[in-house]
Amino acid sequence: RGTELASDCYSVDKFVEKPDLDTANAYLASGNYLWNSGMFLFSARDYLKELEAHRPDILSACKAAIADASEDLHFTRVNPDLFAQCPAESVDYAVMEKTDKAAVVALDAGWSDIGSWSALWGVSSKDDAGNSLTGDVIARDTENTLVRADSRLVATVGVENLVIIETKDALLVAHKDKVQDVKSVVEQIRSDGRHEHMNHREVYRPWGVYDSIDNGTRYQVKRITVKPGAKLSVQMHHHRAEHWIVVSGTARVTNGEKTYLVTENQSTFIPVGQVHSLENPGVIDLELIEVQSGSYLGEDDIVRYEDRYGRK
């Protein structure tokens, strides 16, 4: 920290990235250094001015992406190809370490960024054996372990110091001292051409949510929930047919030139290439099972003709 500008507020003299142990101890002993928690406060106008001064290439890429943006419901979707050309550099390196306008205020709040599963275990409430258990969990002879079960029973026997995270997408089992290495698993998923890091089983849409409960060669099964008054886009698929079975509620279905209601325990079939839409005209959630069949079942096989949420 530099010159005192106001009570407990100082100009920033310099940033030092990850000093070694001896240097860090010297900094602490001097009393003139503060740890950068990475919490920044500035006006958008001032930040853009500093970005223009120190990293005009980043500012230029962002301006180009915004200029070609589209509106989607309450969201602004920047041009993904143009935005991908923006250099990947943090605000710390791009601006804060270069600007001469930075000031720092000391904060003693007992703060933790809880940046890992082991850190979450550290701040969570625990049982007498030091376990933090969430969801449907049976723990026997288990100590100092974090277990989170989102969709099924998880049982542990004779283990300690583990992090076990069960979701609809994947299962993670790691030692508490190794949870930071999960990024290497993500890199392997990418290099193997898998999609777990991008595609999730449960997906939220403006009209509701769908859960991909099963899939195989040439078929996929989804559980779809449509909110009252909501409507999926008027669309068509080149490669798949769809069979809808209503579980609860009432569906208003447009199937080509026909529009009709489908109620509980009834079903309807949408052929390949048929223009169609699905709407919930009722006051309770519409729940249905969708069985897709065809040569290609990707989410990008959608031709939208009309959409009340502004999606392309």
Q: How far apart are CA 183 and CA 191, in angstroms?
A: 12
Strand 103-105: give its sheet, edge to edge.
Answer: 4-6, 9-11, 103-105
Q: Which residues contact 303 (CB under 8 A, 6 or more apart)?
A: 235, 236, 237, 238
Long-range pairs, 64-73, Cβ under 8 A, ≥24: 70/310, 70/312, 71/310, 72/309, 72/310, 72/311, 72/312, 73/206, 73/309, 73/310, 73/311
Decide: 156 and 147 in contact? Cβ < 8 Å. yes
192 assigned to some structural domain: no
The pLDDT value given to residue 291: 98
CA-based radius of gyration for the chain:
26
Domain boundary among 65, 80, 108: 108
Residue 298 or 113, more confident: 298
Closest CA to 227 of 244, 209, 212: 209
The pLDDT value given to residue 199: 80
The pLDDT value given to residue 36: 86
174 shares its domain with 219: no
Closest CA to 101 of 58, 60, 19, 42: 42
The pLDDT value given to residue 109: 79
Q: What is the mean pLDDT of the chain?
A: 92
218 shares its domain with 126: no
pLDDT at 84 over 80: yes
Average pLDDT over residues 15-29: 90
Structural domains counted in the chain: 3
284 assigned to some structural domain: yes
Closest CA to 228 of 283, 277, 278, 279: 283
Look-up: residue for tokens 């040569």?
295
Q: What percent of the chain has pLDDT over 90?
A: 72
Both tokens of 172, joined, read: 């993670």
The pLDDT value given to residue 114: 77
36 assigned to some structural domain: yes
176 shares its domain with 78: no
208 shares its domain with 176: no
Q: Are strands 240-248 and 286-294 parallel, antiparallel or unpaired?
A: antiparallel
190 assigned to some structural domain: no
138 assigned to some structural domain: yes
186 assigned to some structural domain: no
**Which CATH number fits the domain that encloses residue 229?**
2.60.120.10
Q: How far apart are CA 210 and CA 259, in angstroms?
A: 23
Domain boundary among 147, 181, 215: 181
Among 111-120, 127-136, 226-235, whose mean pLDDT is lowest?
Answer: 111-120
Q: Are strands 171-175 and 132-134 parallel, antiparallel or unpaired?
A: unpaired
Quote the pTM value: 0.66
The pLDDT value given to residue 73: 64
206 shares its domain with 302: yes
Average pLDDT over residues 80-104: 92
Q: What is the pLDDT of residues 39-80, one digit of tens each?
A: 899 999 999 999 999 999 999 999 999 999 887 666 788 999
2 shares its domain with 78: yes
Closest CA to 290 of 234, 252, 230, 243: 243
95 shares its domain with 76: yes
Decide: 297 and 239 in contact? Cβ < 8 Å. yes
294 assigned to some structural domain: yes
176 shares its domain with 229: no
133 shares its domain with 74: no
The pLDDT value given to residue 214: 94
Both tokens of 156, joined, read: 């542990």
212 shares its domain with 170: no
Q: What is the pLDDT of residues 188-216, one digit of tens each?
A: 999 998 888 888 899 999 999 999 999 99
The pLDDT value given to residue 309: 85
Structural domain for 98, as ranges: 1-108
Q: What is the pLDDT of residues 258-280, one digit of tens each?
A: 999 999 999 999 999 999 999 99
Decide: 176 and 130 in contact? Cβ < 8 Å. no
Among 69-78, 80-89, 173-182, whose mean pLDDT is lowest?
Answer: 69-78
The pLDDT value given to residue 16: 87
17 assigned to some structural domain: yes
174 shares its domain with 206: no
283 shares its domain with 225: yes
Domain boundary among 149, 181, 213: 181
Model confidence band, residue 29 (pLDDT cutoffs 50, 70, 90)? very high
**Which CATH number fits the domain that encloses residue 85?**
3.90.550.10
